[in-house]
Amino acid sequence: MPNTTRTCSKCGGPMELGYVADKAHGDRVTESEWIEGQFESGISAGLFGSNTQDRRRIPIHTLRCIQCGLLELYANPA
């Protein structure tokens, strides 16, 4: 997880930790992930499941500036 005491690179305001919700699985909300490799779409990408099961996956942590709203995304391994 990134250092949560960071200041905004745009305006210098304080940053707060959060996440970007992913609703790709129906109504179930999950945390977005960085997935190793190139994005593939269409029927061949997973009609019966994802073809990304064997790829490295890292949760995306997000910092938001309280003053100007700038988002910074980080995919730091645990």
From CA 17, how far away is CA 10, in angstroms rounded? 17
Is the predicted pLDDT of residue 77 greater than 60, yes or no? yes
Is the predicted pLDDT of residue 65 greater than 90, yes or no? yes
pLDDT in tens, 5-54: 789 999 999 999 998 887 666 677 788 888 898 877 766 555 544 577 78
- Token digits for 26? 């129906």
What is the domain partition of the chain in residue ranges?
A: 15-74
pLDDT score, position 26 = 67
pLDDT score, position 16 = 95
Nearest to 34 by CA among 3, 69, 76, 63: 76
